[in-house]
Amino acid sequence: MPQLQVHDSADEACRAVAAEMARCAAGGAVLGLATGASPLRVYAELVRRRREDGLSFRRCTCFSLDEYWPMAREDPRSFRQFLRRHLLDAMDLPEERFHSPDGSVAPEQIARHCAEYEARIAASGGIDLQILGIGRNGHIGFNEPGAGRDSRTRRVELAPGTRADAAAEFGGAERVPRQALTMGVATILQARRIVLLAFGAGKRDIVREALEGPVGPQVPASFLQGHPDVRFVLDRGSAGG
């Protein structure tokens, strides 16, 4: 069963998770990185530790969970650039050890590209610590409701609500890409340790479903219940008191 860690505030929670990531980084860990608002303060704290305490990602390898498709690699709205902007530009991670699904691959190359992404994760030794957020509908990465326990990195359709949530960055929901490349549920579950971040009362109901509801594709985050080392890091709002 997932462990629960409830903090008084999201700030405090994010500092604790950043401290954990920093310890892993010191050992040269393979880190799985998520985008979205939830991990932002974790990344800000890591950047602060880089500047003030000399935290180093020199020995790390990083894999991004997902990416819009189609999406140019240099597009500021891409998840690749999000991770650069909020974290990796400030760190000393060697360029060749930052991996992200490539939203610019041609349709006929997608299957091969996704298989190669899986192979790169395996070749790195596997993900030691995977950071996750959770979508309003229970998605993890871009594994929307319907995603199976055995799913692997692949191209997926985004749910209308997911596109609506990203509308601001794209100037309207209709401009948000309809598809994405994402690590699959099985890819995520292979990480040795998983930390899911969810803050605010708006996440309370879906967090409860993921933790206590039936395990199945209707709430992809519910598959985490079967992982041996997963922790939900919450604030009072998302924990529901």
Which residues are marked as active site?
Answer: 66, 137, 139, 144
- 147: closest CA among 115, 185, 118, 179? 185
Is 144 an interacting residue with respect to ligand GLP (CB under 6 A)? no
End-to-end CA distance of the chain: 20
Is 166 exposed, middle or buried (CB count within 10 Å of its CB: 0-12, 13-18, 19+)? middle
Which listed range, 20-28, 29-37, 56-64, 231-239, lies at the site for ligand GLP (CB under 6 A)? 29-37
Token pair in block for residue 52: 């003030």
Q: Which is nearer to ligand GLP, 57 or 199 (CB)?
A: 199
Sign of CA dihedral 34, 35, 41, 43: positive
Q: Which is nearer to ligand GLP, 56 or 164 (CB)?
A: 164
Q: Which is nearer to ligand GLP, 65 or 91 (CB)?
A: 65
Cis peptide preceding 70, ω within 30 of 0: yes
Is 123 an interacting residue with respect to ligand GLP (CB under 6 A)? no
Helix (H/G/I), strand (E/B), else coil: 72: coil
For ligand GLP, which residue of 45, 66, 128, 144 counts as binding (CB under 6 A)?
A: 66
What minimum distance in Å lies between the beta carbon of 236 and ligand GLP? Answer: 17
Token pair in block for residue 216: 């199945």
Token pair in block for residue 146: 């319907």
- Amino acid at position 139, single letter: H
Is 35 an interacting residue with respect to ligand GLP (CB under 6 A)? yes
For ligand GLP, which residue of 28, 36, 145, 217 counts as binding (CB under 6 A)?
A: 36
Which listed range, 6-14, 109-117, 135-143, 170-178, lies at the site for ligand GLP (CB under 6 A)? 135-143
Is 42 an interacting residue with respect to ligand GLP (CB under 6 A)? no
Kindly report the number of other CB atoms within 10 A of residue 169's CB atom. Answer: 11
Is 201 an interacting residue with respect to ligand GLP (CB under 6 A)? no
Whether the Cβ atoms of residue 67 and residue 36 lie closer than 8 Å to each other: no
For ligand GLP, which residue of 13, 42, 47, 65 counts as binding (CB under 6 A)?
A: 65
Is 83 an interacting residue with respect to ligand GLP (CB under 6 A)? no
d(CA 95, CA 116): 18
Q: Which is nearer to ligand GLP, 28 or 188 (CB)?
A: 188
Which listed range, 34-42, 81-89, 98-106, 227-235, lies at the site for ligand GLP (CB under 6 A)? 34-42
The beta strands (E) that lie in the chain are given as 3-7, 30-33, 61-64, 66-69, 98-99, 129-132, 154-157, 179-182, 193-198, 230-235
For ligand GLP, which residue of 32, 101, 138, 141 counts as binding (CB under 6 A)?
A: 141
Name the residues that contact ligand GLP, by CB under 6 A: 34-38, 65-66, 133-135, 141-142, 162
